[in-house]
Chains A and B, each alone.
Chain A
Amino acid sequence: MIRKSFLLSLALWGTFTVRAAFAEDPSAADVQTHLDYVWTLVAAALVFFMQAGFALVEAGFTRAKNAVNIMMKNLMDFSIGTLGFWAIGFGLMFGATAGGWIGTSGFFLSDYTPGGDPWVLAFWMFQAVFCATAATIVSGAMAERTKFTGYLLYSFVVSALIYPIFGGWAWGSLFNGNGWLEQLGFIDFAGSTVVHSVGGWAALAGTLVLGPRLGKYDAKGRPRAIPGHNLPLAGLGVFILWIGWFGFNAGSTTAGVKDIAWIFANTNLAAAAGVVGALVAIWSITKKPDLTMSLNGALAGLVGITAPCNNVSPTSAVAIGFVAGILVVLSVLFFDRIRVDDPVGAISVHGVCGVWGTLAAAIFNIEGFTAGQLGVQALGAAAAFLWTFPAAYLTFRVIHATIGLRVSEEEEMNGLDLGEHGESAYPDFDVVSTFPAGVVVPKSVKATGAYGATRKPAGAES
């Protein structure tokens, strides 16, 4: 009896809900909106996954005694960056603009009210992972000698202030803002300038304030090799960055539209061409096909296509990527020669190739090349440098003068894992690095006395 009445009420409930579901069919516009949400958030997840890529590349390219520190820096620049961008950065970048220079609303996600339009959350999520990408570029260039606390402070400043202010100039109108640079017709679809060159120039500032790793340069100023401890990790990291970049570039439509097809194709072609370009360059210079440079080539191609991914042909994408691959190799060797120690090539991949991508958007513009557009692109690239580099340099100098930016010599030699974190990345393994080879820290102590000078020969009277 109870069973029958239960089944009856279940059936009644069923008919009511089924009728409710069919009460209003979603309109075509609704479906498009939902598709926009889905694609934007899937893409945001892909871009988030790039954090894993950065972490693996950086860990792989540096020594095992610093692996915990690299992981912590990557974990924290994302976490602090997310919070900094939530609290301050998003508002500065996308808030109602003051003259096209800076946003003034939307702090602490104030644009969102529970029950209100959640698009701001999707958009914020997508933009937050972009901000975090710019922030994490720097950790590789500053690896193996940066104080953890100094890096935490920098992470907040870059995510809350440096990145968003320039970002607003180029992308503000994507939400409530309107930047002066975009009003001039500046093209940077997914961020060669906004994200990558900003990260690259902040990295340059950091490496200059820090100085090179101990022993990186010999007495004659020639660079010594400090081989990374796990190149397979680095390779895996690049593959992860590559897949994440499909979200980075194609997701920048923030809409489920057909354009994402050519963006995917352009992205992939540029990456592959970047690998080949870098391989050709390094193979001809050193007579050996080097893995680490080829990996940098993939990233160079990806950075190069990031600005023009939505306004160039696939054939152009190949050219853009190939040139980026050659550029990154020459740039890495150049920075090494001028004693700028960048363990992962971040300045070359993101700064130099970021500029290349920015200019390529005009050079290869599918709507035709104009000198005017090239001028605007160059202006944007210059503005990114002139804003980011001094701001980051100042930040690092202030950190250096207050809580300190660089670890002590002894700590650097023993490894940051022990010094900064009291932990070992591989406690079950002996982690012994004899790199760099040669005089690393000039001796300040002399050996006194000489063994054997006063020793009597065997058999003599004592």
Chain B
Amino acid sequence: MVKIEAIVKPFKLGEVQEALTALGVQGMTLSEVKGFGRQKGHVELYRGAEYQVDFVPKVLLAVVVDDEMASPAVNAIRKAALTGKIGDGKIFIGSLDDAVRIRTGETGAQAL
């Protein structure tokens, strides 16, 4: 079981979601986050006072998939989220010990 966290530009969410659904991924979790990598923030102005905004709004889409689905999912996400401009985001991949479906108590791949 692999957990994939994709941090992407907010307006890319729809495309990423469609790409994953087309692959057969059945569940995902969305968080609204702020972050930065090497992308610099920007300066905003409020009543004559400048302030630096380093943390840029992004969305974090988390999916848990079987091992063999991991690479296709990552590639699909990357393709959908890509704009070619700075700030496109990152995908983090890690292995997961287990998962449980709350309603039925199923574990492992059955829980996905």
A: number of interface residues (CB 8 Å)? 20
Interface string of B39-69 (1 = CB under 8 A from A): 0000011111111100000000000000000
19 new A-B pairs (CB below 8 Å) besides A223-B49, A333-B48, A336-B49? A222-B49, A223-B48, A224-B51, A225-B44, A225-B45, A225-B47, A225-B50, A225-B51, A227-B44, A227-B46, A228-B46, A285-B48, A286-B45, A290-B46, A293-B48, A332-B48, A336-B47, A435-B51, A437-B52
For chain A, residues 254 to 307, give those with C-beta under 8 angstroms from any C-beta of chain B: 282, 285-286, 288, 290, 292-293
- With the chains together, A226 CA to B50 CA distance in Å? 10
Q: For residue A285, which residue of chain B has the nearest CB?
A: B48
Residue in B50, B51, B52 with the greatest tally of chain A CB atoms within 10 Å: B51
Q: For residue A61, which residue of chain B has the nearest CB?
A: B47
B: number of interface residues (CB 8 Å)? 9
- With the chains together, A224 CA to B52 CA distance in Å? 10
Q: List the 3 closest pairs (A to B, CB-CB), nearest first.
A: A225-B46, A225-B51, A225-B49
- Closest Cβ–Cβ distance, residue B34 to chain A (whole Å): 9
A residues near B45, Cβ cutoff 8 Å: 225, 286, 288, 290
B residues near A223, Cβ cutoff 8 Å: 48-49
Chain B interface helix/strand/loop/mixed: strand
Q: For residue A223, which residue of chain B has the nearest CB?
A: B49
- With the chains together, A286 CA to B49 CA distance in Å? 9
**A-B interface contact total, Cβ < 8 Å:** 41
- With the chains together, A160 CA to B48 CA distance in Å? 37
For chain A, residues 221 to 242, give those with C-beta under 8 angstroms from any C-beta of chain B: 222-228
- Closest Cβ–Cβ distance, residue B45 to chain A (whole Å): 5
Q: For residue B54, which residue of chain A has the nearest CB?
A: A437
Binding site for B on A (CB under 8 A): 222-228, 282, 285-286, 288, 290, 292-293, 332-333, 336, 345, 435, 437
A residues near B46, Cβ cutoff 8 Å: 225-228, 290, 292
- With the chains together, A288 CA to B46 CA distance in Å? 10
- A–B pairs, 5, beta carbons within 8 Å: A223-B49, A225-B50, A290-B46, A292-B47, A437-B52
- With the chains together, A140 CA to B46 CA distance in Å? 17
Across the interface, do B47 and A224 meet the contact criterion of CB distance under 8 Å?
no
Across the interface, do A437 and B51 meet the contact criterion of CB distance under 8 Å?
yes
Query: Given A222, A290, A435, A437, which contacts B47 in the complex, CB threshold below 8 Å?
Result: A290
- Closest Cβ–Cβ distance, residue A311 to chain B (whole Å): 34
Q: For residue A329, which residue of chain B has the nearest CB?
A: B48
- Closest Cβ–Cβ distance, residue A46 to chain B (whole Å): 29
Q: For residue A436, which residue of chain B has the nearest CB?
A: B51
Interface string of B56-95 (1 = CB under 8 A from A): 0000000000000000000000000000000000000000
A residues near B51, Cβ cutoff 8 Å: 224-225, 227, 435, 437
Across the interface, do B47 and A293 meet the contact criterion of CB distance under 8 Å?
yes
A residues near B52, Cβ cutoff 8 Å: 437
Q: For residue B48, which residue of chain A has the nearest CB?
A: A333
A residues near B50, Cβ cutoff 8 Å: 225
Residue in B45, B48, B49 with the greatest tally of chain A CB atoms within 10 Å: B48
B residues near A336, Cβ cutoff 8 Å: 47-49
Q: For residue A332, which residue of chain B has the nearest CB?
A: B47
- Closest Cβ–Cβ distance, residue B9 to chain A (whole Å): 21
- Closest Cβ–Cβ distance, residue B33 to chain A (whole Å): 12
Interface string of B10-39 (1 = CB under 8 A from A): 000000000000000000000000000000
Q: For residue B47, which residue of chain A has the nearest CB?
A: A292
- With the chains together, A332 CA to B48 CA distance in Å? 9
Q: For residue B50, which residue of chain A has the nearest CB?
A: A225
B residues near A437, Cβ cutoff 8 Å: 51-52
- With the chains together, A223 CA to B45 CA distance in Å? 12
- With the chains together, A192 CA to B70 CA distance in Å? 70
B residues near A435, Cβ cutoff 8 Å: 51
Residue in B45, B50, B52 with the greatest tally of chain A CB atoms within 10 Å: B45
A residues near B44, Cβ cutoff 8 Å: 225, 227
Residue in B47, B49, B50, B52 with the greatest tally of chain A CB atoms within 10 Å: B47
- With the chains together, A290 CA to B47 CA distance in Å? 7
B residues near A224, Cβ cutoff 8 Å: 49, 51
- With the chains together, A336 CA to B49 CA distance in Å? 9
- Closest Cβ–Cβ distance, residue A257 to chain B (whole Å): 41
A residues near B47, Cβ cutoff 8 Å: 225, 290, 292-293, 332-333, 336, 345
- With the chains together, A361 CA to B84 CA distance in Å? 61
